[in-house]
Amino acid sequence: MAEFKTLEIVQKDESKAVFHIYLNRPDQRNALTLDFFSELPAALSLLDFHRGASAIVLSARGPHFCAGLDLSAFRSLSTAAGAAADDPARRRELLRRQILSLQSAISAVQSCRRPVIAAVHGACLGAGLDLVSACDLRYCSSSSFFSSLEVDLAIVADLGSLQRLPDIVGAGRAAEMALTGRRVTAAEAMAMGLVSAVFADPPAMDAAVDGIAAELAAKSPLAVAGTKAVLRRSRDLTAEQGLDYVATWNAAMLVSPDLDAAVSTRPGNAARPDFAKL
């Protein structure tokens, strides 16, 4: 498996098609550098096309999940834009392209065919919240807290939380988080739907999330990828358009032998169907 500066990819159990991506700058509270934004899409692409990977857990080394964007990334972007040209319009156009590139890296989580599960402990701030908002499922330990802190840094959050949080927690709660920048506790995060469950401590969370990931990995990869794709697409469609889209998807994918494998185990047969890899 490839090595990265800011990430670590681990398969804990070779008998299960579950891979872990760890944010791996614990001494810097996993603040996101520009290297991260090139490495994350590469890591996700690697696992997306790995036939032995069917589910991905995104978590972090050290006491905190993510402290947000590393200040050096701010400086690098502004310095590069400032040195690009004498024309202010060209400098701003370059900065816009750089921001779009960062956005694309976070969106790679959503675009990945494999389900991505966030397992959060400690602080999840700023760009860290953008990152988990792009995940399919989110869990945390009781010590976790979340904050959309960009407003207190005199900037507008621009990596996806303003676009994705309203679908997750509702427009009112998303606006309150974004405008106040206040700290949201683990219990409150669960109450508003930001996370699906809160666990007593990181080890308990890791064990539970590993089990959830293993369950997802044991399902038909075509069905999981299709469910993820239809859920994502349907957010931008009317109900009628979404139904039409899923009809087209199933018309193409129901010919898979995965369906025969699943049906042959039900009812009365507890054996796990053996699905082909995707």
Counting residues of the chain whose pLDDT is more than 90, the rounded percentage is 69
State mean pLDDT over 243-268. 72
Which pLDDT belongs to residue 237? 81
State mean pLDDT over 149-168. 93
Which pLDDT belongs to residue 96? 87
Which pLDDT belongs to residue 259? 62
The conformation of residue 218, written as its DSSP 8-state character, comes to T
Distance CA 134, CA 21 (A): 15
221-263 fold: Lyase 2-enoyl-coa Hydratase; Chain  A, domain 2 (1.10.12)
Which pLDDT belongs to residue 235? 85
Confirm if 221 and 212 have CB atoms less than 8 A apart.
no
State mean pLDDT over 134-152. 96
Q: Cα dihedral angle (232, 235, 236, 242), rounded to 10 degrees?
A: 80
pLDDT for 97-120, tens place per residue? 888 999 999 999 999 999 999 999
Is 7 strand, coil or helix? Answer: strand
Is 17 strand, coil or helix? Answer: coil
The neighbour count for residue 43, using CB atoms within 10 Å, is 23
Confirm if 93 and 249 have CB atoms less than 8 A apart.
no
Tell me if the domain spanning 7-217 has CATH number 3.90.226.10: yes
pLDDT for 15-70, tens place per residue? 999 999 999 999 999 999 999 999 999 999 999 999 999 999 999 999 999 999 99
Distance CA 248, CA 16 (A): 31
Which pLDDT belongs to residue 57? 98
pLDDT for 172-206, tens place per residue? 999 999 999 999 999 999 999 999 999 999 999 99
Which pLDDT belongs to residue 171? 96
Residue type, 72: S
- pTM for the model stands at 0.90
**Please, where are the H alpha helices in the chain?**
34-48, 71-84, 88-111, 127-133, 161-169, 171-180, 186-192, 202-217, 221-234, 239-253, 257-263
The residue ranges of every structural domain in the chain are 7-217, 221-263
Which pLDDT belongs to residue 267? 54
